[in-house]
Amino acid sequence: MAGAWLRPLSRGGRRAPVIVCLPPAGSGCGRFQVWQDIVGPEVALAGVQLPGREARWNETPASTVDEVACRVAAEMTESGLIDRPFLIYGQSFGGLLGYEITRRLAVPPRLMVVAACRAPRWWTPPERGLGADLDALSRTLPGDLDEDIRAQLLGALYADAELAATYRSAPSATVSCPIMAWRGQGDPIVTQEQLAGWERHTEDSFQLVTYPGGHDVPAAQAIQLRELVTACRSI
């Protein structure tokens, strides 16, 4: 499963269902390693790692959303991952990338989960895009971070803002798999209306679930992880 873009985060059996995880803006997929103990050995975890993050920190950032989606979809296909039951989970900007990856796959995931991620129409100018969120997102960084690490994280955030600025949504585009949208009730960045907009982008079922908390809470609560695992095990 390992490649330039796909990183194994845990090892399930060869035919174990896979959760493909896409991190939020400015982050690397290593943040999902803490999920290993929760999902257990019956489910495999894989992360999508963009250039300029973690072990790829010295690589030039991607220039367009289309480039990222095409490269990841190709690697998922060539690695045989799409021959296994799999789900796609994207947090914030990672949700948009997960959607565009799904659109390019010959075999869709059994479920696509978008957490704290507005629907595609709100990523295209003149609507509010990631660039407008930078101040709010930068305030979520821990205050005691080393200055070099803070600079690196802010650099990744700005790179993703430039990446998001290249995005143009296709208003009538859909995916054939179900979509589940997660929202923190107190999220100051993404509204319920923006998450509900995902319903028009699936030919299958849609569910919007609201949890206590803010923009990052859906990625942190174990209950959501258990829901993903339940979905995996029911495949």
How sure is the predictor about 98, in pLDDT bands with cuts at 50, 70 and 90? very high
pLDDT at 100 > cutoff 60: yes
Cross-strand partners of 180: 113, 207
Other beta carbons within 10 angstroms of residue 156's beta carbon come to 21
Phi-psi region of 52 (alpha: psi -120 to 50; beta: other; left: phi over 0): left
Helix boundaries (H) for 80-184: 93-103, 134-138, 147-165
Is residue 98 within 8 A of residue 115, CB to CB? The reply is no
Q: What average pLDDT does this structure show over 42-46?
A: 90
Is residue 119 within 8 A of residue 143, CB to CB? The reply is no
Mean pLDDT of the chain: 86
Output the pLDDT for position 235: 73
How sure is the predictor about 107, in pLDDT bands with cuts at 50, 70 and 90? very high
CA atoms of 231 and 235, how far apart (whole Å)? 7
The side-by-side arrangement of strands in the sheet containing 6-8 is 6-8, 44-48, 18-22, 86-91, 111-115, 179-184, 206-211
* pLDDT tens string 193-210: 999 999 999 999 999 999
Output the pLDDT for position 108: 97
pLDDT at 30 > cutoff 60: yes
Q: What average pLDDT does this structure show over 84-99?
A: 95
Instruction: Give the relative orientation of helices 147-165 and 93-103 as an angle to the nearest 10 degrees.
Output: 40
Is residue 164 within 8 A of residue 65, CB to CB? The reply is yes
- Domains, the chain: 6-233 (3.40.50.1820)
* pLDDT tens string 114-156: 999 999 998 876 455 555 556 655 665 556 666 666 667 777 7
Output the pLDDT for position 166: 84
Write out the two tokens for 195. Answer: 């998450």
Output the pLDDT for position 139: 62
